[in-house]
Each structure stands twice: as C-alpha cells, then as structure tokens.
Amino acid sequence: MDGEAAPPRMSAAEIERFLETEFPQMHEGGRSVSIESVRRMGAVLRMAYHERHLRPGGTVSGPAMMALADYAMYVAVLAQLGPVALAVTTNLSINFLRRPARRDMLADCTIMKLGRRLAVGEVALRSEGEEDLAAHVVTTYSLPGAVK
Amino acid sequence: MDGEAAPPRMSAAEIERFLETEFPQMHEGGRSVSIESVRRMGAVLRMAYHERHLRPGGTVSGPAMMALADYAMYVAVLAQLGPVALAVTTNLSINFLRRPARRDMLADCTIMKLGRRLAVGEVALRSEGEEDLAAHVVTTYSLPGAVK
Amino acid sequence: MDGEAAPPRMSAAEIERFLETEFPQMHEGGRSVSIESVRRMGAVLRMAYHERHLRPGGTVSGPAMMALADYAMYVAVLAQLGPVALAVTTNLSINFLRRPARRDMLADCTIMKLGRRLAVGEVALRSEGEEDLAAHVVTTYSLPGAVK
Amino acid sequence: MDGEAAPPRMSAAEIERFLETEFPQMHEGGRSVSIESVRRMGAVLRMAYHERHLRPGGTVSGPAMMALADYAMYVAVLAQLGPVALAVTTNLSINFLRRPARRDMLADCTIMKLGRRLAVGEVALRSEGEEDLAAHVVTTYSLPGAVK
C-alpha cells in the first residue's frame, strides 16, 4: 500500500537508462518511443509517427498501439517501484475507439492499483493534439516477490 | 448466420496473396508469419522464431504475440467471409500464461461467433511442440456493412 | 458523432420511469439501485448496502458489482441517446482492485466512444466516501440500427 | 505446476458441502445452481431456468451469466486445489454471443493455467441442448499464499 502513496523512485531519465539495457528491442529499427514524463502512479510516453508502425491508410497499427500501452505501464511501474526487471504483463485488454491521426501518439498511463503481487493500470492512447481517445487499455502486471 | 455454417471461401494461398497487398507491413523486416491452414471458422498461423520478436531472455515478446493473434483472427475472418479489407479489430484481450519456448509459435484461431456486424474469436498461442498455452486471446472484429 | 457532443436526452427521473418498465428485475427483492445523476456522456448510480449483495465477510459480491456496472452503462447510453430498449451488452471486463467497505457503492460511468453501432464506456466503482477504486469496468454495448 | 497435473482433490459432493458454508448467498431465494461434474482442471455447472435470472423477453440476464461463470471457475479451482476459501476473482471478461434459449444454462469451465499465485480459466456458457455458445468468459483468480 505504501507503494501507492510514495513519490516516484525513478525519473524519466533514469528509466530511459535502465531500459536501454532491459528492453533494447524497443529501439530496434530506430528510436521511436520516448518517455515524456513520470508522476506519482503514472507516466506519459510518446511514439513518433513513423512508417514502421503504420497500417494501410497511413494510420498507426493496432499492434503498435498495444506495444506502446504495454511499455507505458512498464514505465509507470518502474517509476513507482524502482528497477524491477522481472515485472511481467499477465493481461492486456485494448478497445480501439477511433482511427488515429497521422501524427505522434501519446500514451498516458495511470496505475489504478499497486499491490504486493499485482499492478493494474489503464492507458489512454491519443493522437497528439486530440482530446478523444484512439484506444483505451487496461493491463495487469505481475510483480516479482515482495515490493521492497 | 449462414456465414457460420458455410465452408471457407478463401484458401490459405488465396489469403496470402490478398494480404501481400492489404497488410504488406506484416512482412517488413523479413517474412516471419505464414498461414499453416484454414478450416471452417478457424485458421492456424506460424510465426518463425526470429530475433526481431524477442525480449531479453530470448523468448517471444508480448507485443509479437498480440500482433500474431490479431493477424490470425483476421485470416480466419477472411477465410470465412472472403475478402473484406475493411474488417477492423475493436477489442483484443490477452492473458499471458507461460513463458514461450525458443521455437516457432503457432496461433490457432477459432471464430466463436460470426454475426452481421461483429465476429468474436479466441486464439490459442503455443510454442511448437508444446501442449500448454503460452497465451490466450479473445478478440472482436467489426465487420463492414452487411455480410455478402 | 453528433451523439457524443449533444447534451443528455433523458433526465435521471425519465430514465427511472423508463426502466421501471424495461428492467423491472433490477428491483426484484427490493429497491437497491438508484440513479444519482446523469451528465453528457456519463451517469452515476448508487447501490444501497444490502444483505442481498454480500459475500461472506460482509462486503459487496463480485456479481453485484458487475450487475451494477452493466446497469450504469445502460443508464449512461439511455441518457445520451434517449430510449433505446434494444441496446445490449456485448462485452464486459472487470478488474477487482480493493475490498469494498460496508457502505453504499457508487458507480461512475463515462462513455468513451458513442458510435453508430457500438458504445464503449468505463465504470469506476467505489465505496461511498472512498477515493480508491473497488473495481474498474470497461464495457461495450451494441446499439440497435442507426442512432436517431 | 504439480497442481496442474494432479487429479481433482474434491468431488462435486464435497464441494457442494464446502460451499454451503462459504457461499451460502448463491442459494438465496432458492437453489438454482448445481455442480454437474468436476474433472482434472475443469468443472461443469448448471443453472436452472428460473424467473429470478431473467431479463425482459424471458432470457437469462447478463449478470446471471457472469455470476454463474465466476462460480464455475471457483468450483474448478476448489476441485483442483482443495478447499482454498480465500481465492478471489481479480478479473472477469465476458463476451455475450447469442441470446440464450428459455432453458437451463450449462457452464463448462476449463482452467488454462494454475500457477502458484494466479489461476486463469475460460468458461463456455450454453443453453442446454445447444452447441453454440451463449457467452464466453475468461477469468483470473488470485490464489492465497503458496499452493499446499
């Protein structure tokens, strides 16, 4: 429970450095995802508009949005708990709501519950400059052992 | 309803050719997903074990499994309905169950409901040669207009 | 799309009267759910703390929370669209986050997307007076025919 | 892991007796749910067709189906692990596929993964005598402490 009330333990820059080692494949083919900001129980990520993520029609593909949301939750958990490399996704559920625009996409993750064993969060996915959601994700991470 | 009882309208080879045009990005970076078979209300796909899909530890990443499952459902819908390029995913929910092996992954999709407006299917994801599931997906596609 | 921007078409009192006819079973065994308020693209419902909804330990049962969330989304859709008796739930996904308190429960539903065929909303379930969520729901309704 | 391969530890009759104490509210208003059978990693439950569970039109209500599925998973977990009164649902996701018939409903639950901390199962809901699914559920239970 303390984990939920505490301020973030890692800054965006510290997390970026940690992930260079832990998730190098996120940057394969060129760097396109970056951490905009972290806050208590939340984080915002940006995915650059890039041909690699597109589906026919020129909009961001569903799998690219799922990957971005998964990553946003991982960053939010890292920020709150510190480096827990073994946290793994157990469930991810996405609803695709509107066709994204041909622009960068922002993923805003809020952790709804941070227990000893599970973290549950939601992620709002929007094209930059849009108020309406392109997609909405709810996801659960299993946390390794006791939270330090 | 007729759509559910009818035999498949497209063969695996016909779907492969259709998708070369519609989903060329699936093959970007090298061809790794192929259609093993289609059947009434179902399809099996194979994703070759490939460095591009891996997470640290050498196992298939979650996003690669989500993309594979989404694609398997699209193939199963195409097989049953014929070429409906505008079918789009509205929901995808995945549970990650076991760490995959360092082998090809097979995705076996069964359409549970094929209505006029929505198709709902489940996808069992297994490492080749394993009986236990690596992940399980339930997904919904919205179908464009009336089913022909 | 117009449906999303318009003000609600029915008041809480009008919806209560409509549902007396359409959903009489909600009140079977005694009246325990009431509409607190409706707003553009949203509604708040209250479920009275009542022995009928409890599980051992005296807290609200999971099925009672699922029923409340489903009902909250129906009320929010009715408020926005007017009386559409044929709207039906196609998907409901709930995460149970914290043990509820022994008090009334409030369900706050926000419609995230109101399309011609589908409405997708989320519902925050809290024990009265609590800030933290007891449960979180995402649900989809299929809408009958064209939105008037 | 051993838990997955072992035969069931409790019979249907033993579970019924256990649940009389643990879940007495399931029978409130009259007995309508019974255990048809248990098997390794699975169970079948029956819900009698009963006015109490109906929605307008005389078919089984969504919340009644969600409650039945939740209960079926609990029975399957009990059968496999023995009496673990503290197992709790953490997630339940249901897709409503077809209008049920005016008959008893059967819920067939299969546990897909039984780990030390989480059990994940799917539940097929059918009106008696029907092959097609009325609804499909995937649900996760959190297991208390180490599996004995």
pLDDT of residue A26: 61
Measured between CB atoms, which of B97, B113, B140 is closest to D120?
Answer: B97
Kindly state whether C90 is in contact with chain A, defined as any CB-CB distance less than 8 angstroms.
no
Side chain identity at residue D18, one-letter code? F
Structural domain boundaries in chain C: 12-142
Total-model pTM: 0.92
Contacts of C114 in chain B (CB under 8 A): none
**Which of D51, D55, D66 shows the shortest CA–CA distance to D99?**
D55
CA nearest to C69 within chain D: D63
**B97 min Cα distance to partner chain D (Å):** 6
Q: How far apart are CA C19 and CA C22, in angstroms?
A: 5
Per the prediction, chain A carries an average pLDDT of: 87
Kindly state whether A120 is in contact with chain C, defined as any CB-CB distance less than 8 angstroms.
yes
CA nearest to B94 within chain D: D138
Per-residue pLDDT at D51 exceeds 70: no
DSSP string, A35-101: EEEEETTEEEEEE---GGGEETTTEE-HHHHHHHHHHHHHHHHHHHH---TT-EEEEEEEEE-SPPP
Model confidence at D27, in pLDDT bands (50, 70, 90)? Answer: low
Contacts of A140 in chain D (CB under 8 A): 90-91, 140
State the 10-residue block means of pLDDT for chain C, 148 residues long: 79 91 64 91 93 66 93 95 85 96 96 95 97 97 69
Q: How far apart are CA A83 and CA A73, in angstroms?
A: 14
**C72 min Cα distance to partner chain D (Å):** 13
Contacts of D136 in chain B (CB under 8 A): 112, 120, 122, 138
Q: Do A133 and C113 touch (CB under 8 A)?
A: yes
pLDDT of residue D53: 63
Kindly state whether B93 is in contact with chain A, defined as any CB-CB distance less than 8 angstroms.
yes
pLDDT of residue B25: 62
Determine contact, residues B94/B135, Cβ cutoff 8 Å.
yes
Chains that touch B (3 or more CB pairs under 8 A): A, C, D
Kindly state whether B37 is in contact with chain A, defined as any CB-CB distance less than 8 angstroms.
no
pLDDT of residue D6: 86
Could you say which residues of chain B have pLDDT below 50? 1, 146-148
Per-residue pLDDT at D24 exceeds 80: no
H or E element that contains C38: strand C33-39
Kindly state whether A110 is in contact with chain B, defined as any CB-CB distance less than 8 angstroms.
no
Q: How far apart are CA A80 and CA A39, in angstroms?
A: 8
Angle at D9 between CA D6 and CA D10, to 5 degrees: 150
**Model ipTM value:** 0.90
Model confidence at A83, in pLDDT bands (50, 70, 90)? Answer: confident
Residue C26 dihedral angles phi and psi, to the nearest 5° = -60, -25
**For D12-142, CATH number?**
3.10.129.10
**Beta partners for residue C127, in sequence order:** C105
Pick the more confident residue, D3 or C117.
C117
**Length reported for chain C:** 148
pLDDT of residue B147: 41
End-to-end CA distance of chain B: 12
Kindly state whether D95 is in contact with chain A, defined as any CB-CB distance less than 8 angstroms.
no
pLDDT of residue A104: 95
Q: How far apart are CA A105 and CA A52, in angstroms?
A: 14
Most C CBs within 10 Å, among A89, A110, A112, A120, to test the C interface:
A112
Determine contact, residues C93/D93, Cβ cutoff 8 Å.
yes
Cα-atom radius of gyration of chain D, to the nearest Å? Answer: 15
Kindly state whether A57 is in contact with chain B, defined as any CB-CB distance less than 8 angstroms.
no
Per-residue pLDDT at A87 exceeds 90: no
pLDDT of residue C42: 97
Contacts of D62 in chain C (CB under 8 A): 67, 70, 89, 92
Kindly state whether C95 is in contact with chain D, defined as any CB-CB distance less than 8 angstroms.
yes
Model confidence at D55, in pLDDT bands (50, 70, 90)? Answer: low
Q: Do B25 and A54 touch (CB under 8 A)?
A: yes
**A58 min Cα distance to partner chain C (Å):** 22
The number of C-beta contacts closer than 8 angstroms across C and D is 64
Most C CBs within 10 Å, among B88, B93, B112, B118, to test the C interface:
B118
DSSP string, D125-140: EEETT-SS-SEEEEEE
Per-residue pLDDT at D99 exceeds 90: yes
